[in-house]
Amino acid sequence: MDKSRRVETPPAAPAAAARPVAVIDVGTTAIRMQLAEIQESGVVRSLDALQQAVPLGKDSFTRGRLQQATIQQCVDIFRGYHRVMQEYGITRSDQILAVATSAVREALNRDTLLDRVYTATGLVVRVIDEAEENRLTYLAFQGLAAEEPGLREGDALVIEVGGGSTEVVLVQQGRVSFADSYRLGALRMRESLETYRAPSERVRSILTQHIERTVEFIRRSMPPVKDLRFIAMSGDARFIAAQLGADWKLAPLVRLDIKAFAALVEKIVPLSTDRLVRRFKLPYQDAETVGPALLAYLLLARAFQVEQILVPRTSLRDGLLREMMVRDLWSGTFAEQVLDAALALARKYHADEAHVRHVAALSTRLFAELQPEHRMERRHLILLQAAALLHEIGGFVSNRSHHKHSQYLIANSDLFGLTREDIAVIALVARYHRRAVPNPAAHPEYAALDRDSRIAVSKMAALLRVADALDRNHVQHARDFTCTREPGRFIINVAHVEDLTLERLAMREKGNLFEEMYGLTVVLREARTDGNGERGTL
């Protein structure tokens, strides 16, 4: 293994309560590994860093498949990384997180690579989608903001121009207000230039035209911004920052004047890959991507009229480390971000906000009450809450069969941080809030889920139906209730409501799935309180 890229820090005995971990990023041009120690306090101490070049993007973006020689090269790299991990005592699966991005994601034979790596090393590599890349970019930004508190205020646009795609995350007042991924990749652009044999004198203009189309689309898609901090988060950005004298030992990020940045970019872009290697001593795979990536950053910065470009030492691997540090990802800020995104989508389609918020709150109560029966995780609670917020958006299309329209709109939308599988689950839970129950024979989207996900969808949909029935008239008067169990029955005692006739009628229509999944019939009762505050039922 080439050790030239390693930070030569000898393996050290872990400090008390410290957890050694490894994160691996299978990218477009290289496989990178970061070894670190996570203290109980949350402090992350870097132990080692390795990088090995591999032409995954060249194969995937031009042929659609990974060549056998490339697959073997990847297996050899993982074998070497595995030996290094063992030196540091990193041997358990919960100490290792390995992900692959666009180059592997788009390869038709990606499973061959994943299976070969697993067979050779026992390491599981997870192929992540664009939404997960955005989430990791945001997690990396969170770590940066912890070191630079000023980034939490105002607007911050975090952009990572990678080899296969560009990730864009807008954080306003600490909240993600926009996140998307674009097929604007530096290696993708370089391969296009070589495919069409663009003459060197036209490289700049061709790249500019290609990039500007995407830049304009990004600018028009984003909400208004003010006092924007423009953050370029990639190895190419760190390269140009180093050329301009940046020193990350002094601060976690450096500020580059846009004029100085532009002047150096204009010198770099026309240079051939060979000249870049000779002039800047760059590895060949880095020299292939640096020109298109830096031009993309420059055109984006100009589009948003910023005077400075902020370049942190942070990378996607910092996002992976932060994910390992946050043991319950489905809590705290991340859960809030998901539900904020769901509520924003509900508002976009003019949902009855008071109703959907109330149904989400009722669903949350029922989820807690029935924990012994359903035994679902916190992840499922967040997905259920999101489905509750979105279950009526199909009414934007038509009130007739609006549950089916809700499924379609959700399935074809993006929700920050959620995978396509997560979104498919939310869409199906919303779809089953009324009418037909889940049926693998009749509903192909439901049938496409694995068994565990199908059962979870049915359990969550059953809870959503009960919650929706409790607010049948959309006036939110069923707020205070208690739950009890009798043989074969789940009793909901609703306080401060004189008449539950409408809710009982709705429960007759919707309660069948609950009975099927939980083996209990839902019974609604009006609860009364006497003068001493004691409750009774009628």
CA–centroid distance for 303 within its chain: 26
Confidence of residue 201 (pLDDT cuts 50, 70, 90): low
479 φ, ψ (degrees, to nearest 5): -110, -40
Confidence check: pLDDT of 532 > 80: no
Domains of the chain listed by start with CATH number: 19-128 (3.30.420.40), 131-323 (3.30.420.150), 332-537 (1.10.3210.10)
Angle between helices 284-303 and 203-221 (to 10 degrees): 50
pLDDT at 439: 93
Confidence check: pLDDT of 425 > 70: yes
**Mean pLDDT throughout 335-364?**
95
Q: pTM to 2 decimals?
A: 0.83
**Weakest mean pLDDT among 149-158, 363-372, 427-436:** 149-158
Q: Edge to edge, what strands does the sheet with 166-172 contain?
A: 175-182, 166-172, 155-161, 228-232, 308-312, 253-257
pLDDT at 534: 46
pLDDT at 310: 97
pLDDT at 478: 92
Count of alpha carbons within 13 angstroms of residue 525, beta-carbon side: 18
**Mean pLDDT throughout 315-332?**
84
The set of long-range contacts for 105-113, using a CB threshold of 8 Å and a minimum separation of 24, is: 105/129, 106/60, 106/61, 106/64, 106/164, 107/56, 107/59, 107/60, 107/64, 107/65, 107/66, 108/64, 108/65, 109/65, 109/66, 110/66, 112/66, 112/71, 113/66, 113/71, 113/74
Question: CB atoms < 10 A from the CB of 244, how many?
Answer: 15
Of residues 252 and 8, more confidence is placed in: 252
Confidence check: pLDDT of 482 > 50: yes
Question: 507-522 pLDDT, tens per residue?
Answer: 999 999 999 999 999 9
Of residues 375 and 536, more confidence is placed in: 375
Confidence check: pLDDT of 12 > 60: no
Confidence check: pLDDT of 315 > 80: yes
**Mean pLDDT throughout 101-105?**
96
pLDDT at 200: 67
Question: CB atoms < 10 A from the CB of 6, how many?
Answer: 15
